[in-house]
Amino acid sequence: MSKIPSGYMERVYAGWLGKIIGVRLGAAIEAWDFECIRQSFGELNDYPAWYKHFAADDDTTGPLYLFRALEEKKGDTLTSQDVADAFLNYCADGHGFIWWGGYGTSTMHNAYVNLRSGMKPPQSGARETNGPVLSEMIAGQIFVDPWGLVAPANPSLAAEMAEKAARVTHDGNSVQGARFVAAAISAAFAAENIREIIETALALIDPSCDYARVARFVMDYYDQHPDCTWQDCFLQVKEHYGYDKYPGATPVVPNAGVMVLSMLYGGGDFEKTLLICANCGWDTDCNAGNIGTIMGVLCGLDQMDYQKWRKPVNDLLIRSGVLGDMNNTDIPYGACYIARLAYQLAGEEIPEKWKDILLNRSHECHFEFPGSTHALEVRTDGRDNTFQMINTDEDAYSGDRCMKFFGTRLLGGQELYLHRRTYYWKDDFSDSRYDPCFAPIFYPGQTVEAAVKLPPYSDPFYAWAYARDGRTGKIYAGEKTLMTREKWQVLKVTVPPGDGVIIDEAGICMQVPFEKTGRRGGFQVQLFIDDLRFTGAADYTLDLTRETKEVWSARHQDITQVTRLKHCGEIVPHGMLMACQEEAEWYTGCHSWRDLDASYTLIPQEGRAHFALFRVQGAMRSYGAGFLDGQFVIRKNDYGWRTLAAVPCDPPLGDTVTISVSVRGNQIEARCGGTILRITDEDHPLMEGAVGAGVEKGAAVLERIRIRCVN
């Protein structure tokens, strides 16, 4: 008998989508109390805020990054140390990812500092280490959703994995909350109603803990007062388990009461449950996010009103980890990533329909989830145009579904750009929440391609593949093609190698024939599109003299295309100044690059070490080639730096130098002038990653990085 229930793929997508909907619903009113929400909105019944694009949030950044521990674990069984390693590897130091509220105020901040200082879990999150208040904040449960989604209908396994994750940062009731939430999500795959989900999850936590007590309190009140409202129940929770009873910024127990009452009074309805949860106040994004996952799995996509809840989200998920390309993703990718590991964990074959997508195409726009848009957007310089994207099973280039696009009131010769955003700028966001920063997901040297076809009722028009340089506005256009109704056509264009180019969108351009100019009411275009993807090898130069510093806020300032572990870079005449009192690193490029040739031009100023970084998999995994204590070395960071090869060589302080690196599989060659080092790494080699630069106790100016990927 299969461990993976039928309909799993659609329900894991619904659960992950529900998480993002819930977080977006609650983010703008986070930390508001019940009275403040009631006075401001009466009763909130929709998203309370509009965003250009919804920026990063800790509730949606942390889950998938910490969940990567399941794939990257050191042994056969997941441990808390595996999750701690993922936390250190994907979290920047002091910005993004988590709430940096101060050591002694923010639990996640405490845990990060503890781990960086060498402390191991569970001590890093223990009550004895951090105190009773800090160890029982809400973040123990807000990151655990994937552990429930990856173990469908297996709540005991979900709770076990969630506990291992939560003990890295929390203790006590927070760990019980992590077990409860993950178990509830898992149980939702098999349960018939919300009461069964709650009972199943409660059976897997300590019945004597306050988390269980507040849940039982709410359930008893619900059963014993059938004529009372959710508002009445909330006031009882506030009186007996309110924030005044549990000190700290975000205590988990009061918020647990809100979650349970919203599920009971929501009666199994997705929208009603989330709105009750948000209207109660307190930690609204955390509560509604966890509830969104549970209800998404239970209710499925059919209960998520598309126009009201899904369309504003548009499948987009912005994150704020340390590697910039990983911060630009979509919700279908997250669902596919979780599902691939679910089948692996269960020891089952991936269904044939999903095998290629989960194993090879999870980053592509495949449109196989009903209603999915993969965050596609439309751009045009026309006026009075209306556009619509509909996920449909009317036709498909591969699989069962595709995207159907409509554009109306177009003039002859007008161009319409349907695209995926491959890079985001500061002005694309309404705020600076959780400090997102980016590297492109598409580069010069690569090819954008998509399959397109006219619906049988559409008039012909022209289309071509394109990519745009966001810095200059230059369009790289493929062959202009007249669309037909008879067959699918694959349009593609390869962006030539280039210097200083930032590709910020790529997709399909549509153009109305000029002879249609006089049509009354304008011209309508309709198009099926499927399998939008980026292929080929990057071949470009990142010229730091052309980059700029984007000032999001006084605290959030980053160089375009570059992310950082810590310390801000500064743009100077020769490039980017990198300086620090201890160690600092900056990253760019794609985390999935494998074999490549790269040359790094920099000017060492002073300090102990100056490095070119490659195969960067995060803050704790990478290779470096450069100058260290009077030697030219190749070294490796695998949760601690160690030197793999070295020859004497004094750093040429103040002079421009070029460090060249060639990587093929586990073979590495590094050069600087006439100095050459070659090694073969046989000890768990890092086989893919981005590039970057680093310094220790000093400064250097990074002028440019020339990158040519060869696979």
- Establish if 163 belongs to a structural domain: yes
CA distance 656 to 672: 11
The SS3 of residue 578 is strand
- Establish if 603 belongs to a structural domain: yes
Residues in CB range of 333: below 8 A, 6 or more apart = 317, 362, 363
CA distance 445 to 26: 41
Q: How far is CA 611 from the centre of its chain?
A: 28
For the chain, the first-to-last Cα distance in angstroms comes to 40
User: Taking the alpha carbons of 81, 83, 86, 91 in that order, is the dihedral positive or negative?
Assistant: negative
Same domain, 523 and 545: no
Same domain, 493 and 620: no
CA distance 543 to 178: 45
Q: How far is CA 477 from the centre of its chain?
A: 29
CA distance 120 to 111: 10
pLDDT attached to residue 514: 73
pLDDT attached to residue 446: 98
Residues of the chain with pLDDT under 50: none
Q: Express each pLDDT in 593-651 by its tens digit.
A: 999 999 999 999 999 999 999 999 999 999 999 999 999 999 999 999 999 999 999 88
CATH for 388: 2.60.120.260
CA distance 354 to 364: 13
pTM, two decimal places: 0.97
Same domain, 390 and 307: no
Q: Residue 186 burial by CB count (10 A; 0-12/13-18/19+): exposed, middle or buried?
A: buried
- Establish if 363 belongs to a structural domain: no
Strands (E), 232-370: 316-318, 328-330
CA distance 111 to 168: 7
- Establish if 676 belongs to a structural domain: yes
Among residues 302, 318, 334, the one where a domain terminates is: 318
CA distance 562 to 440: 9
**Residue 169: both structure tokens together:** 């940062």
Domain that holds residue 602: 541-709
Same domain, 558 and 649: yes
CA angle 288, 429, 108 (to 5 degrees): 50
CATH for 694: 2.60.120.560
- Establish if 634 belongs to a structural domain: yes
pLDDT attached to residue 459: 83
Same domain, 393 and 255: no
Same domain, 228 and 257: yes
Same domain, 455 and 553: no
**Residue 213: both structure tokens together:** 């007590």
pLDDT attached to residue 502: 97
The residues facing 540 across adjacent strands are 498, 707
- Establish if 609 belongs to a structural domain: yes
CA distance 523 to 513: 9
Q: How many residues does the chain have?
A: 711
Same domain, 473 and 550: no
Going from the C-alpha of 478 to that of each of 281, 377, 513, 592, the distances in angstroms are 51, 19, 17, 26
**Residue 15: both structure tokens together:** 């659960």
- Establish if 532 belongs to a structural domain: yes
User: Taking the alpha carbons of 186, 188, 190, 193 in that order, is the dihedral positive or negative?
Assistant: positive
Count of domains forming the chain:
3
Same domain, 493 and 594: no
CB atoms within 10 A of CB 488: 18
Going from the C-alpha of 638 to that of each of 85, 113, 122, 575, 652, the distances in angstroms are 10, 19, 21, 29, 28
CB atoms within 10 A of CB 61: 24
CATH for 257: 1.10.4080.10
The residues facing 380 across adjacent strands are 416
- Establish if 659 belongs to a structural domain: yes
Among residues 318, 334, 357, the one where a domain terminates is: 318
Same domain, 653 and 692: yes
Q: Is residue 297 a contact partner of residue 7, using CB atoms and an 8 Å limit?
A: no
Q: Please name the helix (run of DSSP H) or strand (run of DSSP E) that holds residue 344, with its range, or none.
A: helix 331-346
Same domain, 427 and 560: no
CA distance 243 to 532: 49
The residues facing 706 across adjacent strands are 541, 599
Same domain, 301 and 421: no
Q: Is residue 198 a contact partner of residue 180, using CB atoms and an 8 Å limit?
A: no
Q: Residue 698 burial by CB count (10 A; 0-12/13-18/19+): exposed, middle or buried?
A: buried
Q: Express each pLDDT in 125-156 by its tens digit.
A: 999 999 999 999 999 999 999 999 999 999 99
**Residue 639: both structure tokens together:** 């949760």
Secondary structure letter of residue 251 according to DSSP: B
CA distance 509 to 467: 9
Among residues 517, 536, 555, the one where a domain terminates is: 536
**Residue 411: both structure tokens together:** 């003039």
Task: Specify the residue for token string 């008039």.
Answer: 459
CB atoms within 10 A of CB 449: 19
pLDDT attached to residue 520: 61
Q: What b-and-e string marks burial along 226-257, b requiring 16 or more CB atoms within 10 Å of the CB?
A: eeeebbebbebbbeebbbeebebbbbbbbbbb
